[in-house]
Structure 1
Amino acid sequence: MSDFSDSLSLSSSGLKAQAARLRHVSENIANSDTPGYRRKSVAFETVLGGDIPGAVQTGRVHLDRSELAQIYDPSHPMADASGNYAGSNVELVIEIADAREAQRSYEANLKMFDQARQMSSSLMDLLRR
């Protein structure tokens, strides 16, 4: 029965990691028009010293250090003497692609979780007979 619980724990770690990734993508999308906002990304790390090989967890959140877009709007309160202010470095197309990838990975982990649960249930039914 340990293999079933290991597979459930493995897929559960993937679900948690993809949920965290989706959370950061949604933050990026929500702040795409916020002046000075830098895109956040999260990396996945293998859980070291854990009981289940292959389990993942989220690592540190990284800020994208690429140049911020300079927006010309002399009436903006944050504009400098030349009328420019720093926008964000969030690209909506990239965020939408990241969100779709995270969603598909989440669905794959969910399907793996469901398959392991069904196999465990079927095994219990066979053992009861």
Structure 2
Amino acid sequence: MSDLLSSMQSSVSGMTAQSARLRLSSENIANADTPGYHGKTVSFEEVTGREGIARVVAGAPELSQRSLERVYSPGHPLADDEGYYDGSNVNLMVEIADARQAQRTYEANLKMFDQARAMSSSLLDLLRR
């Protein structure tokens, strides 16, 4: 039974990490047109707890170090004397792909959690008989 519980804990850990990744991708997509916006990234770490169960933990969000895109728009209020302003450094194609991958990984962890829950429920039903 403890193996089923540890697999459920691993699934929850993965879902938590992927939800953090999906949240940051959503923020980046929403701010893709915001002048001066630096995209955010998240890194993952594997942490082993007291029980010996490895968990995936999302680290603190970090700002992307890519340079900001220079946008030519002479009528923009933030434009300099030459007509340029600093746009964001968010690449929409990369962010959409990351969001899709995070969603699919979340769903895979959810299916693993549901399967472990169903197996533990079946085991308890067998033990009750």
User: Which residue number in structure 1 is paired with residue 101 of structure 2?
Assistant: 101
**Superposed structure 1 runs of 4+ greater than 2 Å apart:** 48-54
Matched, 1:42 2:53: no
1:13-52, Cα deviation, whole Å (9 max, x unpaired): 1000000000000000000000000111101111244435
Segments of structure 1 that go 5 or more residues without pairing to the other structure are none
User: Which residue number in structure 2 is paired with residue 78 of structure 1?
Assistant: 78
1:53-86, Cα deviation, whole Å (9 max, x unpaired): 3211111212111111111111111111111000
Say if 1:52 and 1:110 are closer, same or farther in 2 by CA, change over 3 A: farther
User: Which residue number in structure 2 is paired with residue 20 of structure 1?
Assistant: 20
Q: CA RMSD in A?
A: 1.2
Residue 60 of structure 1: SS of its match in structure 2? coil
Aligned AA for 2:29?
I
Matched, 1:2 2:31: no
TM-score w.r.t. length of structure 2? 0.95
CA contact (8 A) 1:6 1:52 kept: no
TM-score w.r.t. length of structure 1? 0.95
